Amino acid sequence: MRPLLIGCIIILGAGVITLGARAYFQQQALDGFWQKMTEQEKSISKLEDANGNQKAVIDELASQRERDADAVEQLLNSISDLARQDETTRNRLHALEVSNAQTRAYLDRLVDPAVSCMLDPACDDDQRAAADRPAAADEPDAVVQPAD
């Protein structure tokens, strides 16, 4: 009976060692899982923060887009108003030119070259400089020098 008892003790000891080893390895695996889970939680937290920041940027961009759309609408309305005013002014000026001799005479006068160049965006610097110089006949004290 003693050998049977020793065999049982050995089997029990082996079982305890096996259970202890299994518990140790399970604890190691569990610790690894907890560590991975903690890392994943940190990663998720960082991603949530990044998403929150991106949402704030997206909200700001959407708000800016609305403000831009309002500004464009106001600009288009202003351009439309200016076009109507321009058309009205042109029509009134044409009617005045047809019905009033003084206005017709005023509008038929030549425009000074300097003013014409100033109003013409295609006028380059040389043309602008030439238009700014008074003609010799316009200068009261101008003396024409003979050419050598």
Q: Is 127 exposed, middle or buried (0-12, 13-18, 19+ CB in 10 A)?
A: middle
Of 100, 110, 109, give the one whose Cα is nearest residue 131.
Answer: 110
Please tell me whether residue 142 adopts helix, strand or coil conformation. coil
Q: Give tens-digit pLDDT for 120-147.
A: 888 877 776 776 665 544 544 444 444 4
Confidence band, pLDDT 50/70/90 cuts, at residue 2: confident
> Which tokens hold the place of 64?
């800016």
- The answer to pTM > 0.95 is no
3-state helix, strand, coil in the chain (%, to 5): 85, 0, 15
Q: Is 96 exposed, middle or buried (0-12, 13-18, 19+ CB in 10 A)?
A: middle
Domain ranges across the chain: 2-99
CB atoms within 10 A of CB 55: 10
Write down the pLDDT at residue 13. 92
121 in Cβ contact with 132 (< 8 Å): no
Give the least confident one: 32-41, 56-65, 133-142: 133-142
Mean pLDDT along residues 40-67? 96
Please tell me whether residue 112 adopts helix, strand or coil conformation. coil
CB atoms within 10 A of CB 126: 8
CA atoms within 13 A on the CB side of 100: 10
Write down the pLDDT at residue 140. 45
